[in-house]
């Protein structure tokens, strides 16, 4: 975001692929929508390379609280992670001392020399948009599948998933957007045909012109249509989940 300036972009379909901000964008179109993602925070740390062999990784499939922890050699160093818990949605997620300590403690039984905070050369945090029940208290057991939804008002949402499935997510999202655009096109075409048919049967006065009442009705309808957001000017689409 470079400035506070707003401008209008016209499109047949809006593709909402905004990660943890998915629900915020959905509610810009319809404030009554229920939330469909749970933000899950994940923290990783970087350790010196001597904590792992150059070509060997380690994964702990289940820690004491059910999470997964791993270590992988990377560019002469070692990356270790991760945490998995409900997190606030923010543009600048930050790792906490407690999360760093959790990673180090989970790895302790597997290292001949335990890593400490002094060994951590960097740490960073991210937010995963999990397509799951937002009322759940934890996130480690939530599905990592992705969801594609035709919102029915010109918006198609894609959320959830993982980096390892991004190509499939993109394919499903684009397919859904094309399908939604075709629906709106057919709905608009049908509406135009209906309008032309209605115009041909208007009452006319002695001069062969449409009556004043018909003209006023047409003007009112056109004004009402112009006031609606672009995403709501076509007919509704069936909500579909892929």
**Burial category of 118 from C-beta neighbours within 10 Å (exposed 0-12, middle 13-18, buried 19 and up):** exposed
Average pLDDT, the chain: 78
Q: How far is CA 125 from CA 56, 87, 128, 160, in A?
A: 24, 10, 10, 17
The residue that leads in pLDDT, 183 or 92, is 92
For the cut 90, the answer to whether the pLDDT of residue 22 exceeds it is yes
Q: Specify the pLDDT at position 225.
A: 47
Residue 43 confidence (pLDDT): 93
- Alpha carbon 44 to its chain centroid, in Å, reads 22
Q: What is the DSSP letter of 183?
A: H
The reported pLDDT for the residue numbered 162 is: 82
pLDDT above 70 as % of the chain = 70
The per-residue b/e assignment along 205-227, b for 16 or more CB within 10 angstroms, e otherwise, is eeeeeeeeebeeeeeeeeeeeee
What mean pLDDT comes out for the span 15-40? 91
The runs of H, that is alpha helices, within 30-153 are: 97-107
pLDDT tens for 156-201 read 999 988 888 889 999 999 999 999 998 876 766 666 555 555 555 4
Residue 241's φ and ψ, nearest 5 degrees, are -115, 130
User: Per-residue confidence at 51, pLDDT binned at 50, 70, 90?
Assistant: very high
Distance CA 52, CA 49 (A): 6
CA separation for the pair 57, 116 (Å, rounded): 19
Contact 176, 148 (CB under 8 A): yes
> What average pLDDT does the segment 138-150 reach?
72
Residue 201 per-residue DSSP state: T
pLDDT at 204 over 60: no
């Amino acid at each position: 975001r470079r400035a506070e300036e707003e401008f209008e972009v016209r499109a047949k379909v809006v593709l909402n692929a905004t990660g943890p901000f998915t629900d915020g964008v959905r509610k810009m179109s319809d404030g009554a929508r229920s939330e469909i993602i749970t933000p899950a925070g994940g923290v990783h740390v970087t350790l010196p390379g001597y904590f792992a062999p150059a070509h060997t990784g380690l994964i702990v499939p289940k820690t004491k609280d059910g999470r997964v922890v791993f270590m992988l050699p990377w560019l002469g160093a070692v990356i270790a992670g991760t945490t998995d818990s409900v997190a606030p949605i923010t543009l600048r997620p930050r790792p906490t001392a407690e999360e760093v300590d959790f990673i180090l403690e989970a790895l302790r039984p597997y290292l001949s020399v335990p890593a400490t905070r002094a060994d951590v050369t960097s740490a960073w945090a991210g937010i995963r948009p999990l397509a799951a029940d937002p009322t759940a208290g934890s996130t480690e057991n939530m599905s990592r599948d992705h969801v594609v939804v035709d919102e029915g008002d010109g918006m198609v949402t894609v959320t959830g998933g993982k980096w390892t499935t991004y190509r499939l997510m993109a394919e499903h999202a684009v397919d859904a957007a094309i399908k939604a655009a075709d629906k709106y096109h057919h709905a608009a075409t049908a509406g135009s045909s209906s309008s032309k048919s209605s115009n041909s049967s208007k009452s006319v006065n002695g001069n062969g012109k449409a009556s004043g009442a018909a003209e006023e009705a047409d003007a009112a309808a056109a004004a009402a249509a112009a006031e609606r957001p672009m995403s709501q000017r076509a007919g509704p689409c069936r909500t579909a989940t892929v």
